[in-house]
Structure 1
Amino acid sequence: MGIRVCEEKKIFSISTPNTTYLMGVAAGSMLGHMYYGKRMDDMDGFYLLRAGATPDEMHIHRREKVGCLDTFSFEYPVWGTGDFRDPCLCVRDENGCRACELHYESYEIREGKPALAGMPATFAGKEAGQAAQTLILTLRDEVLGLKILLRYSIFEDSDAIIRSVTAVNEGGQKLYLEKILSACLDMDNENFDLLTLHGCWARERHITPHKVTEGKHIVSSLRGETSHHMQPFMALTTNGTSQTEGSVYAMNFVYSGNFIAETELDHRESVRMSLGIHPDGFEWVLNPGEQFEAPEAVLVYSAQGLGKMTRTFHDLYKNHLIRSKYLHSKRPILINNWEATYFDFDDDKLVAIAAEASKLGIEMLVMDDGWFGKRCNDECALGDWQVNESKLRGGLKALVDRVNEQGLKFGIWFEPEMISPDSDLYRAHPDWAIQVPGRPINMARHQYVLDLTRQEIVDYAYDCVAKILRSANIEYVKWDMNRPLSDIGSAALDSEHMGEFYHRYVLGVYQMQERLLQEFPDLLLENCSGGGGRFDPGMLYYSPQIWTSDDMDPIERLSIQEGTALIYPLSSMGAHICVCPNHSVGRITPMETRAHVALAGTFGYELDITKLTEEEKKKAAGFNRDYHKYNDLIREGDYYRIASYRENAMYDCWQVTDKEQKQCLVTYVQVRYETERKSRRLKLCGLDPKARYRLEETGELYSGEMLMNAGYLQEMIFGDYGSRLLYFIREE
């Protein structure tokens, strides 16, 4: 495969189908970054380390070593010995000193891809061309007795490079890891711009460009989850980068907790990108003989703009991260009762929804919050996961059987990580909530968080979920998390280990979801966190889909889904047709537009279908047929961004083309109508230029070359918020 080593010059080359990553050892033992970009066969680039240039030269008498360390392009920078830029690693010894100096020791090349204990990780695929290879570099600080393993994995079919780090204490003293990031890139500034994803509840993952200026730009979360507000992703782009042109250097973090993504530009026009667990509130005790594994980071370089970067991430996650048996299958069209009923429902109401849904081709009913304990509002009963038989008369199994008799599958909502102060569980175990002794616990959404750093609580929460799933034919779970972590303290951790809390909490969540999938391998799991508050690669390892946002308004969803699809496959985005007027923003939109936007994700409904008019029911049945017609293409195809409402303030357009270039589906959403406007010129992508394509709706024929270079002319739709699907089929 693509990993090569020049033993004489100590140069390491990692090549994917279209990219090359070079590292080298300077001054005998300093591991430096040399190059990341277009694929090259030549690896003789030692001069790129600038090892002989002042102030980078390592003088024998060490007169200017600090000057060198502060300018050298490190592969994995550390704190305390002269590099004053932000490090990846900060270690405190038993004396309270923070100093580390890593020296290259050895390398190893392995076939395959190692897993990470208790954490999500990419893996080699079983199909032809999906094999993996891994380079492991060993660095050492002899004074601390610390060994650092840097892992770089590549796959035959991907342009991504997967990085992870392991710290091993081989000395005789206790060490404290105060910071251990997973990836770093030291590069020369190319007049970079920075692209990040930001937002808030109901407005997640909006694409946001920034100019890289001297100093630091930090994207992060300290909420115990990746959050609605920031995404563990960043991309440096060269000036003028578009969907099809320009260089892109991107990083994404395979993790679901606190993170930091930082870009730093120094006075010498050097740029450092780094990504990993946020150091604030983090400290890991490393006793002699122990090790710590940091989560994986994904690196992607594209010389063909953002579009190529996007498709690299999509294919990587579909082929090498998402494990679900449903990955390459149509997901059942579901209807969720939340916006139809909120907490006000009983078994008869749910069966009535199921009966009507069945007539329209809907395939699953999902019972949301309110079915357990004394849960009649959001102020009580979380943790009391016993069926409320005053609502579900006859019990859960009786309800599931009645829904199954209507021809529908059954799904259920849980929030296993939470506990209400007004609950039997809290009254019995008040110490099970995360809390600081002597302080009142601050509530969010009337609830506290269970301390999942404690194994007995993990076991309890898991057993509650599993017991319900064992009791009836439940085929889908929506796993929710409706508040961030605060008031950090655990009865199970002493003062020396309290800095491990956040990471141990995430490991507890991962453990629960892994156990769930092992016991119920046919279960379709959808993660959620008050909408899209935990939409990250870590969660995709356990669930093939994640609820994208609580805002289902199709116009709001344009920017939300554009930003989400910048990294994540369309098949992973939970998307439903909402009630109208929309409950988040009050907007009134055509049912067709709500459907067309939802088709770009998993597709489903979140409304009271029994209240639809006959005309609306006919439309819904048609949308369901559209889902079955187009979903294989949307789920498996290549995604292209044609136009962005975020940029033009008028309309949005995206395209999905199958890998064989036989068909493509274009979705056009016109947000604003204006008089005296010409038709829109939509330049399509990814087609066979020599083939001819028929527009199914009209029978018109176009060459792929014409559609991609001259474009398709889309007439203005009268009125705001209109949409259209354009389905092109190659003529054989």
Structure 2
Amino acid sequence: MKVGYDAATHVFRLDGADISYVLGVNEKGELQNLYWGKRLDAQDPFAAAKSPGGGSGFDPAVNLTPTEFVGWGAGLYAVPNLKVTFPDGNRDLVLHYLSHEIQGDTLRVTLKDIGRDVRVELLYEMNAETGVLARSAKIENHTKLPLTIEEAFAATWNLPSSNDYQLRYLTGRWAAEWKLQEEALHTGKVVLESRRGSTGDEVNPWFAIERGAQPDQDTGDVWFGALGWSGSWQINVEQNAANQVRVTGGFTPFDFAYLLKPEQSLETPKFYGGYSNSGIGGASRLLHRFELGSIVPGGMHRKLRPILYNSWEATGFDVNEAGQETLAEKAASIGVERFVMDDGWFGQRKDDHAGLGDWYVNQQKFPHGLKPLIDKVHSLGMDFGLWVEPEMVNPNSDLYKAHPDWTLNFPGRPRTEGRSQLMLNLARPDVRAYVYGFLDKLLTENDIAFLKWDYNRNWSEPGWSAVPIEQQKEVYVEYVRNLYSILAELRSKHPNVEIESCSGGGARVDLGIMRLTDEVWPSDNTDPFDRLRIQDGFSYAYAPGVMMAWVTDSPNWMNNRSTSLDYRFLSSMQGSLGIGANLSKWSAEDFSTAKKLVAQYKLLRPTIQDGALYRLISPEEGSEFSVTESLSTDGKQAAVFAFLHSSQLGDGDPRIFPRGLEPATKYSIHALVGSLDSRMPERASGEYWMHRGIDVSLRGDFQAMLFTLEREGAK
């Protein structure tokens, strides 16, 4: 992969995997997109960029030009990438090409205002394996006076003119995250946004746009993108009257202002974008490969996620040394690899009304500290993990009584509590030092391999009275920067510690937090049937290999639904497997079943966590069935999970059509849980399995099965 540049036409070209991205400088000095799609031949020519001109006095040309990054000025009515106010009240900003630099696979283009020395350095980084392009902007003030940034978006993605685009995005709420929304694009604007201080589960910073309504998952042109930012954000999808589509994303302008002093700069988040001509299924598989290879810590050398046990649903806040050791013994007996003690071990924590902020070990519950429990867990062949919620404080805590000013607040105004807690203002240097300090001390003094980092409320009263008024709204940026720096510093000093991002479920999942954490918690809802839809939606934007999924008790606390242990395990085995049930209530048969399924999961783990996901039958829209296939990276193994909600009116079982197999190669089929139709052959070609299909036997309510296809001769 390299960056090409034609000095004669002033055209830049980036190629990666099966993708080409082309941009150029037009006769006005504007940087505009020329092409984004399937990879072109290296010799294919591109003429110089040209402004399309305006249609009338109502349509200045800048609104019809597919600009890569544009300031608010020159008659722009679309969403600008950058809007500023200068000290003299001027708000006009017209950015033209100044220079560029190519370093290997990275392109940097500098734009400058036509009059004042405000510059923007645009960064383009193409991923060679997937063709996913990372874009961001650094805004620099080289004038002699401060200016105020009022809007700062990372990049704009331009799509070819078309009148048949379909937009997909993800919405939700607590315990019902990751609902896939689909709608036709029309003239106007769709705004996807979080004003909550963090990513938010109401809508996730991901989008996909498909040209035309395709009959299945694996055909059609799809452009997709995701923001790498864990704070408040906004993505605008605009279609103008000429059917041009532009997607602009970055910091939300709501309640936003950033004072940029002379010679200071502000960097935007990265806005990632990709293209697939293999439908939405191909788009998500590309994004999964990019995330696992280039976003998640360790990249292609990352460790597979261990099978963990978490004590929360067994004990709640009532944790103590003896009880946790008993649970650890039971967890180890079924093959668990990581034991995690959840909330309740610190301060005066007996419920959710006290203790947050006081990160010392509760001596009544653990009179000799954590070491005896950790030693016990290690003796059972497991590593040890711990729950923390570092960004929060209970008003009933020693920390709050000593430092009430450390929270986000507006002086003299009420402080809104959520889950009986307030938010520490991590933008403050003293708060940042405190949070890093207690976490570093905890990890230094104890052999802890894993932190479940929780975050159980959104922002309110986002005041920062310790800084001048004109800088107080910078809290939205500085908070997240300090969060990232704490995580990065902890990972550097304690390289063997792994971290999970959890926020009351999936309220902080994005490509920013994923750069610094090893796994994410998609939902507090652990009902295995609900999870089929939740996990299906999650998979459009994020890889199953980072998605934690727990096996919990039946009936499930969420909706009192009863399901078999097989069903619960198979639902969770489609991601990174965890167990959160109260093992003290399990029967001997339960332990036997769990031990068998844990062993099977370990054999399939590389295929499930690192493989390519095919959604064969969607659980959306009231479907009675859900079927997924995970195909290993080497193509030697496919694991297929099939679920039935309920048999109705004597309807037959679904016929399953796998994808991605080698047509002429023989594969043997093996039912691991449940039954295949007795007429199915034991071996056949990939062509047979994909086109004739596979008949399974599912009857009753909440039934599940698992089978594999193994390529002959594979080891």
TM-score category, normalised to shorter length: over 0.9
The residue that corresponds to 2:98 in the other structure is 105
Report the TM-score, using the length of structure 2 for normalisation: 0.95
Separation in 1 of the partners of 2:135 and 2:315? 46
Shift of 1:607: 1.4
Shift of 1:361: 1.6
TM (norm. structure 1) is 0.93
Q: Which residue of 2 aligns with 1:68?
A: 61
Which residue in the other structure is 1:87 paired with?
A: 80
Cα distance change on mapping 1:443 and 1:164 into 2, 3 Å:
same
Question: 1:235: which partner in 2?
Answer: 208
Partner residue of 2:45? 44
Deviations 1:624-678 (A, max 9, x none): 1012111011122111111101046111111111122211101111122223223
Q: Match for residue 220 of structure 1?
A: 193
Q: State whether residues 332 and 364 of structure 1, in contact with CA within 8 Å, keep that contact through their aligned partners in structure 2.
A: yes
Are 1:404 and 2:378 matched, yes or no? Answer: yes
> Pairwise mapping of residues 233-272 of structure 1 onto structure 2 (< 5 A)?
233-241=206-214, 242-272=216-246
- Asked if structure 2 preserves the Cα contact closer than 8 Å seen for 1:328 and 1:636, the reply is no
Per-residue deviation, 1:54: 5.3
Write the distance in 2 (CA, Å) between the matches of 1:44 and 1:364. Answer: 56
| TM-superposed deviation, 1:327 | 5.8
| 1:397-436 correspondence to structure 2 within 5 Å | 397-436=371-410
Report how many aligned residue pairs link the two structures: 702
Q: 2:321 aligns with which of 328, 343, 347?
A: 347
Deviates more, 1:250-259 or 1:11-20: 11-20
Which amino acid is 1:95 matched to? D
**Counterpart for residue 149 of structure 1:** 121
Q: Secondary structure at the match of 1:209?
A: strand
Contact 1:24 1:46 in 2 (8 A): no
Which of these residues, 183, 191, 216, is aligned with residue 210 of structure 1?
183
Cα displacement string for residues 295-332 of structure 1 (whole angstroms, at most 9, x for unaligned residues): 11110111110111111111111111112489643333
Report matched runs for 1:520-539 at 5 Å: 520-539=494-513
Is the partner of 2:93 in helix, strand or coil? coil
State the shift of 1:52 in Å. 5.7
Whole-Å separation in 2 of the counterparts to 1:390 and 1:327: 42
For 1:606, which of 577, 580, 589 is the aligned residue? 580
Of residues 473, 478, 482 in structure 2, which corresponds to 1:499? 473
CA–CA distance in structure 1, aligned partners of residues 71 and 61 of structure 2: 14
Residue 27 (structure 1) aligned with residue 34 (structure 2): no
Deviations 1:67-95 (A, max 9, x none): 21222221112213211011111111112
Is the contact between residue 333 and residue 604 of structure 1 (CA under 8 Å) also seen in structure 2? yes
Encode CA deviations 1:468-514: one digit per residue, 9 max, x unaligned: 22222211110000001110111332111112111111111111111
Is residue 389 from structure 1 mapped to residue 371 from structure 2 by the alignment? no
Q: Does 1:721 align with 2:693?
A: no
Distance 1:226 1:602, change over 3 A: same
- State the identity as a percent: 31
SS in 1 for 2:589: helix
Q: 1:128-154: CA deviations, max 9, x gaps?
A: xxxxx1111111104231111111111
Unaligned regions of 5+ residues in structure 1, if any?
Answer: 57-63, 112-132
Aligned pair partner of 2:668 in 671, 681, 694: 694
Write the distance in 2 (CA, Å) between the matches of 1:497 and 1:328.
40
Work out whether residues 627 and 643 of structure 2, in 8 Å CA contact, stay in contact via their aligned partners in 1.
Answer: yes
For residues 576 and 100 of structure 1, the distance between their equivalents in structure 2, rounded to whole angstroms, comes to 51
1:158-197 equivalences under 5 Å are 158-187=130-159, 188-197=161-170
How far 1:50 moved relative to its partner?
Answer: 5.7
Matches within 5 A, 1:456-471: 456-471=430-445
Separation in 1, partners of 2:443, 2:16: 43
SS of residue paired to 1:335: strand
- Deviation, 1:53, is 5.3
In the alignment, structure 1 residue 13 sits paired with structure 2 residue 13:
yes
User: Which deviates the most, 694-703 or 478-487?
Assistant: 694-703
**1:670-685 residue pairs with structure 2 within 5 A?**
670-685=644-659
Select the residue among 521, 536, 560 that pairs with 1:562. 536
Within the candidate set 560, 577, 591, 1:617 is matched to 591
1:435–1:441 contact (8 Å) kept in structure 2: yes
Counterpart secondary structure, 2:32? strand
Q: What is the distance in 2 between the residues matched to 1:505 and 1:263? A: 27
1:665 alignment counterpart: 639
Contact preservation (8 Å) 1:326, 1:544:
no
Q: CA deviation at 1:6?
A: 1.7
- Whether 1:703 and 2:680 are equivalent positions in the alignment is no
Give the stretch that moved more between structures: 369-378 or 563-572. 563-572
Over 3 Å counting, the alpha-carbon distance change for 1:651 and 1:30 in structure 2 is same
Q: Structure 1 stretch 691-700 or stretch 194-203: which is displaced more?
A: 691-700
CA contact (8 A) 1:656 1:664 kept: yes
Equivalent in the alignment of 1:117: none
Find the residue that maps to 2:469 and give its secondary structure: coil
* Secondary structure in structure 1 of the residue aligned to 2:509: coil
Question: Are the equivalent residues in 1 in contact too, given 2:410–2:465 (CA < 8 A)?
Answer: no
Cα pair distance change 1:681/1:152, threshold 3 Å: same
Distance in structure 2 (CA, Å) of the matches to 1:316 and 1:322: 9
Partner secondary structure for residue 400 of structure 2 = helix
SS across alignment from 1:627:
helix
**Whole-angstrom distance in 2 between the partners of 1:244 and 1:643:** 13
Per-residue CA deviation, residues 557-586 of structure 1 (Å, 9 max, x unaligned), is: 111111111121211001110111111222
What SS does the corresponding residue of 1:532 show, helix, strand or coil?
A: coil
Q: Which amino acid aligns with 2:687?
A: E
Cα distance in 2 between the residues matched to 1:168 and 1:142:
14
Shift of 1:66: 6.3
State the Cα deviation string for residues 540-567 of structure 1 (Å, max 9, x = none): 1111201111111111111111111112
Cα deviations across residues 156-184 of structure 1 (Å, max 9, x unaligned)? 21221111111111222212111111121
User: Is the aligned partner of 1:362 residue 2:336?
Assistant: yes
Q: Helix, strand or coil for the counterpart of 2:576?
A: coil
2:292 and 2:299 in contact (8 A); partners too: no
SS across alignment from 2:352: coil
CA distance in 2, matches of 1:171, 1:613: 73
- Contact (CA 8 Å) 2:168, 2:209: kept in 1 or not? yes
Q: Is the 8 A contact 2:551 2:578 kept in 1?
A: yes
Q: Name the structure 1 match of 2:264.
A: 290
Q: 1:59 — aligned with what?
A: none
Is residue 73–residue 92 contact of structure 2 (8 Å, CA) maintained in 1? yes
Q: CA RMSD in A?
A: 1.8
